[in-house]
């Protein structure tokens, strides 16, 4: 996974890299306005992106259908400016990356564990998506403000 060399990389980690981290990646990439790179990975990648995550983001106009599940070690040779973990397991397993300046831990419920009817499960995906959206859009606005001050 490569990112443009001149842009700071924000890496979002969770355990399976199938739901939360991909939703956060899609939302943050859209909110970043191309000013920083965004990627996601997992400590134990599931090997797929959950279809309901793809659907939940499509409902807000963000396409993550081409995303793939990646291992966090795939990024060990890249400069990762910021690491954001979205679950406790990834927070505990997270290594230090070259160039890492900051790290944040913002845990969210894993919607992949939701139970009930299809609509009840989808409601959990929407709720988690909306929580992730609030946090990551606010983070992006703060980063963009910070970048504007420095330039």
Cα separation of 28 and 140, whole Å? 7
Q: In the structure, how many helices (H) and strands (E) does the chain have?
A: 4, 4
- Catalytic residue from among 94, 124, 132, 135: 94
Cα separation of 147 and 94, whole Å? 26
**Residue 87: active-site member:** yes
**Residue 19: active-site member:** no
- Catalytic residue from among 39, 64, 87, 124: 87
How many CB atoms within 10 Å of residue 112? 18
- Catalytic residue from among 9, 11, 14, 132: 14
Residues assigned a catalytic role: 14, 87, 94
């Amino acid at each position: 996974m490569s990112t443009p060399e001149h842009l700071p990389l924000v890496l979002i980690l969770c355990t399976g890299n199938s739901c939360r981290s991909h939703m956060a990646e899609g939302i943050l990439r859209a909110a970043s306005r191309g000013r920083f790179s965004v990627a996601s990975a997992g400590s134990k990648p599931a090997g797929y992106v959950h279809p309901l995550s793809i659907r939940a983001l499509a409902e807000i106009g963000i396409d993550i259908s081409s995303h793939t599940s990646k291992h966090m070690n795939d990024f060990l040779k890249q400069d990762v400016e910021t690491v954001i973990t979205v679950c406790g397991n990834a927070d505990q397993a997270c290594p230090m990356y070259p160039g890492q300046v900051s790290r944040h831990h913002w845990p969210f419920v894993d919607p992949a564990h939701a139970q009930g009817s299809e609509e009840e499960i989808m409601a959990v995906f929407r709720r988690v998506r909306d929580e992730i959206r609030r946090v990551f859009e606010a983070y992006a606005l703060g980063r963009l403000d910070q970048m504007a001050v420095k330039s």
